[in-house]
Structures are given as C-alpha cells and as structure tokens.
Amino acid sequence: MKRREFITLLCGAVASPLAARAQPPTKLPTIGFLGTTTLSAMSEWVAAFVQRLRELGWIEGRNIAIEYRWAEARSERYGEIAAELVQSKVDVIVTTAPAFPAVQRATSVIPIVFALAPADPVAAGFVASLARPGGNATGLSMLSPDTAGKRLELLREIVPGIRRLAVMVNLGFPAAVQEGSEAHAAASALGLEVVKLEIRRPQDIASSFESLKADALYVTTDALFNANRIRINTFALSARLPTIYPFREHVEAGGLMSYGANIPDLFRRAAGYVDRILRGAKPADLPVEQPIKFDLIVNLSTAKALGLTVPESFLVRADEVIE
C-alpha cells in the first residue's frame, strides 16, 4: 500500500468515529402530556397510561419520551403550556377536557388525544363527528352529564331524606356547567330544590359553604375540584353534608360516594390512540369512544361520621368500599 493511501485510510478510520459521536442523537418520538392538575392528583391515571404504552411496546426513555407539564388547576396556564409543547415539536399531545381548547388553539397540525372529554365532544367543538373526528384531535368522552341522574338516584339510596341539593359548578369550564344543568334538571324531576354553588377560583370554595343550607352536595366533574377535593370534603363534613362525586379520588379523600367512568381505564385507552397515531394513523380517522367501565365507590368511614347507614344492597353493588 502506498504511503499516501495509508494516511488517507488512517485519517478516515479516525475521523469516522469522531463524526459519528459529533452527530446529535436520534430524537425519540415524544408525547407532550398536559396535566390539568398535579402529578400527585393524577398519579394513578398517569401510571395506567404509561403501563399501557409499555404493553404496546413503548418504553419511556428507550424508544419514546414523555414531556410532562402540570397546570396545577390554574386554567390561565393551559395556553402557556400548550405553546411550550408545540414549540418543543412533540409528536402528539395528550390532555383532558379543561385544557383541550387551549391546545386546540395552539396547533392544528400536531395530533391531540383527549383522555377525558365532555359528554358531547361534537357540541363542545372538540371534533366534527364522533365517527370521523375530521381534524387533528380524537379521544374519549366521559359521559358525565348523562350520568348525573344516576348519581342522584344512588345518593338518595343512602340519604333518602334529601329535599334541598347543592350543586357545585366551575363557571369557567363549559362541560361542568353542562353537567350542572343536567344535575339540576334531574333533581327538579325528583322534586328537589336546587342551590347552585358557582365557583370561578379556588378561593370561592370556602365562601360557597358560608350560610349554605342543603341536605347533600353534588360536585361536578372539574380539574379545579379534583385538585381541591380535600378542602371541599373538609368543608362538607364540617357542614355535615353527604357528597356525591364523579371520581373515586374524591372518595379516597373523604367524600361519601362517587359514580362515574373508570378514569384509569380511559387513560389506558388513550395510550392506545397514541400508539396508533405514532404508527401512522390520523386522528381524523380514529372514532371518539365512550366509557365501558363505570365505578360505584362508597366511603363507610365518612358515612359513619355523618350518621348514615349504607344499605347492604348498596354495598353489594359497590365496586369498592373504603373502610
């Protein structure tokens, strides 16, 4: 081998590894996760989402990345966080109903998966239709307003003497307002008087209980209420008010009972949407699905503190009884 050819070969052998090391690492497919409350409040839901991703072959840190952002129940942060995720050029954004409009305004290109949506995502402007969403978003509907009447029926089994029902609604969240109207209608049909507790910010929660006269409290589906569930339950117990909620987390925090869609299951199914999108499917072609699992949870310790007796027939039907 001639000297010039040897030097050229040697330089190439040295340069190649250096060039390889100098190249930036391949960017992993990235999920932008916009949580409306906090990690602690949504930990079980996030765990279900990540576990399902693993089952589908997506391992965080190995072949996928997840950028988490937490709005801490501050709706004014939704737009800011959505803009951050768009700027980061994530491949898909996962969020829930309260933050969805902000994400929708931030991008018409990046696919969006809503793990929790209002009962009617079409009327809410989330999608064009349930069968063919038509835009860059798809996901799962919670059916919360449709279950308002069922919640009241269950509540009356434990608290049969209800005459006056307080309904707590976040006026800044249209889906909660819709559910509140449904609860009001269902209560009126049962001959109950309704007191509406209108909330706009966390500070309003304490004042809403001042001079409140009611026999029970219905709390609508909302990120603000989920983040402040311990405060709500503290005030409710002090006022000796039985409570009915949409989420089991509220009951774990001292609420009397809950009935609604199984939220971890919805987040598991949201991971399925993400999987299909990362493998090439378009959100416009993925139909919006509805809950298939509903949970009835009751807290016996809270019932005892309120002097209530839970019928055995109710306990048999409950999916979980918290002692």
Q: Which of 25, 115, 89 is nearest to 62 (CA)?
A: 25
Residue 117 and residue 136 share a domain: yes
Residue 253 has φ and ψ, to the nearest 5°, of -90, 10
Cβ neighbors of 211 (< 8 A, separation 6 or more) are none
Residue 233 and residue 223 share a domain: yes
The answer to whether position 22 is within a domain reads no
pLDDT in tens, the chain (323 residues): 444 443 444 344 444 444 444 445 678 999 999 999 999 989 999 999 999 999 999 999 999 999 999 999 899 999 999 999 999 999 999 999 999 999 999 999 999 999 998 778 998 899 999 999 999 999 999 876 668 899 999 999 999 999 999 999 999 888 889 889 999 999 999 999 999 999 999 999 999 999 899 999 999 988 899 889 999 999 999 999 999 999 899 999 999 999 999 999 999 999 999 999 999 999 999 999 999 999 999 999 999 999 999 999 999 999 999 98
DSSP annotation of 114 reads E
Token code pair at residue 232: 């709500």
Residue 277 and residue 137 share a domain: yes
Residue 98 and residue 40 share a domain: yes
Cα torsion angle, 45, 249, 297, 259, sign: negative
What is the CATH classification number for the domain harbouring 62? 3.40.50.2300
Token code pair at residue 101: 């409009």
* Total number of domains in the chain: 2
Residue 271 and residue 310 share a domain: no
pTM for this predicted structure: 0.82
Residue 54 has φ and ψ, to the nearest 5°, of -60, -40
Residue 299 and residue 279 share a domain: no
Token code pair at residue 254: 């001292």
Residue 101 has φ and ψ, to the nearest 5°, of -55, -40
Please give the residue range of the domain that contains residue 65: 30-143+262-294
Token code pair at residue 276: 């299909």
The answer to whether position 11 is within a domain reads no
Residue 231 and residue 167 share a domain: yes
The answer to whether position 308 is within a domain reads yes
